[in-house]
Structure 1
Amino acid sequence: MGVVIRRAGASDRSDVVRLLDEAFRDDPVSSWVFPDEEHRRRRHGALMGAFLDLALSQGHVDIADDGAAVALWWSVPAGEQEGEEEGPAQLREAVDPRNARVEEIGRLTGEAHPTDRAHQYLHMIGVSPERQGEGIGSALIGAVLERCDREGLHAYLEASNSRSRELYTRLGFHFTGKPIDLPDGPSLWPMWREPRPFAVGGHDSGIFA
């Protein structure tokens, strides 16, 4: 599939936040973080904006040139990182101070995040609701996974629903074996990907099949 991908910058912020808000507002995890639907409509975009700002400052953001999909990535070194313990509390204070679940999900995903090996972390990928099922998300992820295979890099993510878990499995990710169970809520599936052999002159992983 011919998807033109570019790096997003600060000038794309409003469009990307709008896309992430639309793509994830009814996701099981977002619904758990903001169980009241009206409150979710008011504050969910702020959470997406906070995630985007972190990616723009500490990682990178890939966007389909037509604006239909976006992916937030970090390069994570091996070992415990400074400031990790304060991060969830700071996120809660910035987004929704009276909502303990904003902090809790950050703490739980942080505790499950592997620290033994450096990796590329796919924090979020959002596809416009009316464009889902066209393979745009696979193409967006595949651009980074191709580099992972070429450079021998590992990759990690948390799947938030069964549909995305199936997609990531096709892309070479494997469930680590222990879900992240949100209290009285859904589960997330941590998934790890080993680099695949890379064929000179082309990618041989078959991720777009």
Structure 2
Amino acid sequence: MKKEHILWELFWTFLKIGALTFGGGLAMMPIMRKEVVEKRNWVDDEDVLKILVISESTPGVFAINSATFIGYKIAKFRGSLLATLGVIIPSFIIISVISLFIIQFKEFKLVEYAFYGIQAGVAILIFRAALKLSRKIHFSLFSILIMSASILISLFTEISVLYILLFSALLAITFGYIESLKGAKADDSRAS
């Protein structure tokens, strides 16, 4: 009985997240975090950061990737399936209905202004989520330099953010490997 309850809870939670999220994947971060970290304690902030990194560096939509990850962690395959369906269904229904009336919607200035307001609200949601999650990141001089360089390169060049992300990941892997070699040498010299 408990298994069916958790499956229903996964589906319902992600259905709510999918229905209440405007503005794409990053905009869902604060809502998802509140539901799965604060209310249900299914994952912690460290897991949310991992979801964010994996979802942003792999193909697919953030909402689907995160629902699949959390669903699998809680209830394996059936959990991932139901959480993913839960987050997809609201968007599917909303897009289907909007597609029927898109021409009529575009003509209303009120709808256009509402979307401007939603965009501003989404920017604030993303900013708040970034602030909350940044408290869990272990900053070092190296990570601050990589982050600063990445921001500057993305703002002032036409280089794709994907290439910046891949290059930053390679730099971090190389740096981590060099640091681990230094640590191993220091351990060997202490053992001698």
Same fold per TM (> 0.5)?
no
Structure number, greater radius of gyration: 2
Asked which structure has the greater RCO (Cα within 8 Å, sep 6+), the reply is 2
Band of TM-score, shorter chain: under 0.3
Higher strand residue share: 1
> What is the TM-score of this pair, normalised by structure 1?
0.25
> What is the TM-score of this pair, normalised by structure 2?
0.26
Higher helix residue share: 2
